[in-house]
Amino acid sequence: QYCFFVAGIIGEMLTQFVQQPQLLKKSIQFGLCLQKVNLLKDQKEDEAQGRYLVPDRAELMKSFSQDARGAIEYLTQIPVSMREYRLFCAWSLFLGISSLTWVQSSLLQSLVSKLPRAMTQVLLSKIENMIDDNEKLLAHFQDVMGAFISSIPQSKNLAPRLIGSDSGLWLQHLYQGQLQQKDLTELELV
């Protein structure tokens, strides 16, 4: 729910920019995906400062994977005529997912690490060269997600579980956007 309000709403606004209402849920997943990258990437530093924003890392990774699939669907449905916007979205998505593999290994080794600059430059150039080809983007997405998923340790919860849950009533009360109740449920927000 936090990710929805800080980034999913931005995804909703992006749909208006693209002017394709059928992409609404996918654009929200794009925003959710990128916010979850930030939470996963910053988890160790946040917890060192007493901020436990990730109650269950395994659950967050699972929902991240679902949102990442929605994000790549959003990206590949942006018209090629909107090349600059498409490239902006692609760079954000692939840089985020690629950095998570590095972050995952550094978390397990208790190191602070980020994607090296040279690797980032190669990635951005590669994405720019394939931005007009959905098949290449989808294949690269599969490769990058595969690397990320293989970096995740099996059944090891790396964050303390918080007790209690919110029914989501506050979200339904505050949210005044385009999504219906069934959409919020499908996105696992309520």
Reduced 3-state DSSP string for the chain? CHHHHHHHHHHHHHHHHHCCHHHHHHHHHHHHHHHHHHHHHHHHHHHHCCCCCCCCHHHHHHHHHHHHHHHHHHHHHCCHHHHHHHHHHHHHHHHHHHHHHHHHHHHHCCCCCCCCHHHHHHHHHHHHHHCCCHHHHHHHHHHHHHHHHHCCCCCCCCCCCCCCCCCCHHHHHHCCCCCCHHHHHHCCCC
Give the mean model confidence (pLDDT) for residues 61-82.
Answer: 93
Question: pLDDT tens-digit profile of 139-189?
Answer: 999 999 988 777 666 544 444 433 345 556 666 666 767 777 787 778 777
Look up the pTM and report it. Answer: 0.79
